[in-house]
Structure 1
């Protein structure tokens, strides 16, 4: 698989086919919107039932990235859990799995709008995190700093009639796709997204056949 590398605000970054972002120089792996416990949350609130496998699927994909890259720092960009109680409802097996992934790493939980309260898990719990030229937060701010990296919107591009998760990047900000299973997404034409990105923005499709497209054409 060919490695895709982009230059962003002075940092050389790799948008991974999985939807994770890798910063080799900092040994830093970043993922957005895991939404662990979504199936449990929907069942608890009387919503539609989803197959109860999303935690295992999401953790499995994260495990694959960590095994491949051996990061020293992992940033979860908010909405790591589908709501506060979902963090307390993880099975023992999933808690142990997550603990194994976290062991020996600087693990940073960024607060999201679904899980703003401190989590009962180890690691650092922050509203935002700044390292070198980059700043990491859950939701992009219209007046945010150059080098802002965020999640929240679950961006998707429609290509050939198929909606595909994608990274969005312009000269000053990057928005990551949702990493979690069963997370849905927002079309690039949505005003919430389009209003944030500059005219030179690009969409980077995830999946085995990654592609970089002008955002306006995606």
Structure 2
């Protein structure tokens, strides 16, 4: 884990794409997309059906690594609302154990059914549901809201840092952090799920979602430190 200061709070970014909030003893993960492989299998694209198992093993490892007592998922928890019913027994048992062992909150995303919709499927596998939360002044939601003036943690975009080093193309999941004139800022977490692709961290959709901002950077753990890469700067 590497320390990360954000919005006046101390966090730690894990090598496994999770964010730990020590003061709240909370682990934050975005875009699990559980049962994505079985969704594609139903539509004729056969993939190894173990993505949920691998993703949940990663969550369990992050909980052990950090000692977290709470888990907040930042939306797109299952790849579709029918996902919980397709969990194979081993993965279902893992998820049940995790939601019993922690104070687990599913924040819903565009792949999920919100708390005001019919068939709140995540609730069937344990934990509680929320469309978004505000904790200690930080907003937790699935998709960054353009113009948000409060500090914000979100997911949705699956940001990846694209670099060319010695003629070699490197793509790594990353967090994207904006800073503003108020000194607060907003953060988009990398996708945590085992079967998730990614969008270039400097894509216009990501930069636009974090406006207004003074600066936007990508951050990744590297060699026990936090490596920062500038993505965008406001005109002087």
TM-score (norm 1): 0.92
Q: Does 1:127 align with 2:128?
A: no
3-state DSSP of counterpart to 1:125: strand
- 2:175 is aligned to 167
Verify the 8 A CA contact 1:17 1:208 in the aligned structure 2: no
TM-score (norm 2): 0.85
3-state DSSP of counterpart to 1:135: strand
- Give the Å deviation of 1:215: 2.2
Aligned equivalents of 2:67, 2:86: Cα separation in 1: 28
- Give the Å deviation of 1:216: 3.9
Map 1:136-215; keep pairs closer than 5 Å: 136-160=140-164, 161-171=169-179, 172-197=185-210, 198-206=213-221, 211-215=227-231
Residue-pair matches, total: 214
Over 4 Å off, 4+ runs: 206-210
Larger relative strand fraction = 2
Q: Does 1:63 align with 2:76?
A: no
Q: Unpaired segments of 5 or more residues in structure 2?
A: 115-119, 180-184
Q: Unpaired segments of 5 or more residues in structure 1?
A: none
- Give the Å deviation of 1:189: 2.9
- 1:34 is aligned to 32
Verify the 8 A CA contact 2:17 2:191 in the aligned structure 1: yes
Verify the 8 A CA contact 2:138 2:151 in the aligned structure 1: yes
